[in-house]
A and B are shown apart, each in its own frame.
Chain A
């Protein structure tokens, strides 16, 4: 009975908690339904060697990183040095998916900024991007030995993310 006056305060605190959580979440970070699902199959031409194809099937048995990028994407340029760093660590092969791009623009960007990718697949019409639920380039996926997507990041990856999430996760997946 005595604590009755606390009830409105309690309701208020709950409300504030909900609003605080809601306001601090990025509405663009839509949880991907693809986590813990098999990486969608595709078989498309490579960027550098258009006469050769790339398919995720060829990566079976190793942990790899798929990075969706494009030359027109400003954030990808920002992310690029971090990717170069990731590639240098040689922790896992980084495969690029050049999304809705022009071949010559993409090649020019790689020539200018360095090429962190073991190879890039060329998804000119964005069809593969749709299968991967891509909606905000750059996006990064970590795929395990069995071809299951274990992690997805939307937006540029940072050194912090590399150290705190990507490296530990890749090492862990490599052990299993």
Chain B
């Protein structure tokens, strides 16, 4: 546990120390572009809230070197992703793959949305039904007429 703490601490320190040189780029900018696009989608396992592209931890350096080699060997992006997942698990991917264990993760929010809408509709429908529909008695009607007539007269007098 302690080693992890120190590794983490060095990650944090290295991030703020600008004295360190940038990691050497591969000669081929195309390779480098692909490396960045792949590694931006991957988690650095030592500094877990950093991407592999952005992390300066030792392990991230090694893994970028490894990905560079794989690119130069002509491996596809998918093959490289598989290489990483075989070693570090789905956890390295920022976008978890859709499979039975992650169904809840992907579909969960929509399920909750559907439940929410259903509850809302039920509530609104019930509220409409519960609205008291009062019927006016003969006496009420007469009173209303009287008031309306009075208002009309008042209006004319003005």
Binding site for B on A (CB under 8 A): 27-28, 30-34, 73-76, 78, 100, 125-127, 129-133, 135-138, 155-156
Contact = CB atoms under 8 A, between A and B. Distances in A.
Given A30-B45, A100-B58, A75 B91 contact: no
B3 A135 contact: no
B101 to A, nearest CB: 11
DSSP class of B's interface residues: helix, strand, loop or mixed?
A: helix
10 contacts: A28-B4, A28-B48, A30-B91, A33-B88, A33-B89, A126-B58, A130-B63, A132-B87, A136-B7, A155-B3
Contacts of B151: none
Contact of B2 (A75, A100, A125, A126): A75
Contacts of B91: 30-31
A133 B3 contact: no
Contacts of A130: 62-63, 66, 87
Interface of B: 1-4, 6-7, 45-46, 48, 58-59, 62-63, 66, 85-91
Given A136-B7, A138-B3, A156-B1, A30 B89 contact: yes
Contacts of A129: 62
A76 B59 contact: no
Given A74-B6, A100-B62, A136-B7, 13 more contacts: A28-B4, A30-B45, A30-B88, A30-B91, A31-B91, A33-B88, A74-B2, A100-B58, A126-B58, A126-B59, A127-B66, A155-B3, A155-B4
Contacts, number: 61
Contacts of B89: 30-33, 133
A33 B3 contact: no
Contact of B3 (A32, A132, A137): A137
Contact of A155 (B1, B62, B87): B1
B105 to A, nearest CB: 13
Nearest to A138: B3
A125 to B, nearest CB: 8
B63 A33 contact: no
A127 B65 CA distance: 10
B85 A33 contact: yes
B154 to A, nearest CB: 51
B87 A131 contact: yes
A55 B113 CA distance: 54
Contacts of A137: 3
Contacts of B48: 27-28
Contacts of A75: 1-4
Contacts of B1: 75, 155-156
Nearest to B85: A33
